[in-house]
Structure 1
Amino acid sequence: MQLNEDKAYDDINVTPMLDLAYVLLIVFIIMTTATVQGIKVNLPKASDAPSLSKPKTVAITITDNGKIFIDAIPVTLDELETRLKALQAENPEFPVVVRGDGATQYDNVVAVLALLGKLNITQLGLVTQRLVK
């Protein structure tokens, strides 16, 4: 028996590729119908009131040279108090985060914290960096 090595292969056998495509199609159909099934219920309608929405967090930043920013707007301590009172009139339970630079004077951060305490702002967070060990 002699092999004919002179003949070039001019056609590709696509049967294994079609078998794979059909198997993938069947798996996709089975998985899709399995996730759709369930018990049908009448879901309640939600009200239009934004009661579940989170209030906007106010960020107070204190730079290394003692400048105070509220949401990237430079303010003095008196202006900060005025803006926080206005925000508190809209929503008394708004969250505040204080971002103090590590090189700033400690009394700058304490002055802002004292102001927040004076205004009875209880939802307060201090932003820090995680220590890398």
Structure 2
Amino acid sequence: MQIQNDTQPYDSINVTPMLDLAYVLLVVFIIMTTASVQGLTMNLPKPSNTPSEEKHETKIVQISPEGRFMINGVGVTPAELERQLLAAKARDPKLAVMVKGDPATQYAKVIEVVDLVNRLQIDGLGLITARIGT
């Protein structure tokens, strides 16, 4: 009868601890990258239950799928857009600007208008989420 020798070296490596470490590092990486994402600061109007008697000027800025700007349906250049918004704010300090972008519009154009409104310090900013022409 022959006795087996249990002191033989292992032929394989246990990878479970290495996988555990990889998963922990992956979770830490995901948490750190999502925590450092920068965003926009927007002051959206607060809803109110009581209707307001005050009437303030409202400008609707539309952005076509090609990236052209329109104020209340009239095409304008970015410089004219800024001039018209400045003039409207001078007439009515509580001016409201609604941004209406087509779903095919590049998001950068919408952000360009939002940045312009923030730079002009217009507090009433709204986003319209309907397709142009509806």
Q: Same fold (TM over 0.5)?
A: yes
1:1-133 alignment, distance < 5 Å: 52-129=53-130
Query: Displaced runs of 4+ in structure 1, greater than 6 A?
Result: none
The percent of aligned pairs where both chains have the same amino acid is 40
* 3-state SS in 2 of match to 1:85: helix
Structure 2 unmatched runs, 5+: 1-52
TM-score, length of structure 2 as denominator length: 0.56
Q: Choose between structure 1 and 2 for higher RCO, CA contacts under 8 A separated by at least 6 residues.
A: 2
Q: Larger C-alpha radius of gyration, 1 or 2?
A: 1
Q: Distance in 1 between matches of 2:81 and 2:56?
A: 19
* 3-state SS in 2 of match to 1:78: helix
In structure 1, give the amino acid aligned to 2:65. D
* 3-state SS in 2 of match to 1:99: strand
- Conserved 8 A contact 2:57-2:94: no
Residue 53 of structure 1: how far off its partner (Å): 3.5
Q: How many residues align?
A: 79
In structure 2, give the amino acid aligned to 1:99. K
Residue 107 of structure 1: how far off its partner (Å): 0.9
TM-score, length of structure 1 as denominator length: 0.56
Structure 1 unmatched runs, 5+: 1-51
* 3-state SS in 1 of match to 2:55: coil
**What RMSD, in angstroms, separates the aligned Cα atoms of the two structures?**
1.5
Residue 94 of structure 1: how far off its partner (Å): 1.1
Q: Distance in 2 between matches of 1:113 and 1:76?
A: 16
* 3-state SS in 2 of match to 1:58: strand
- Conserved 8 A contact 2:57-2:92: no
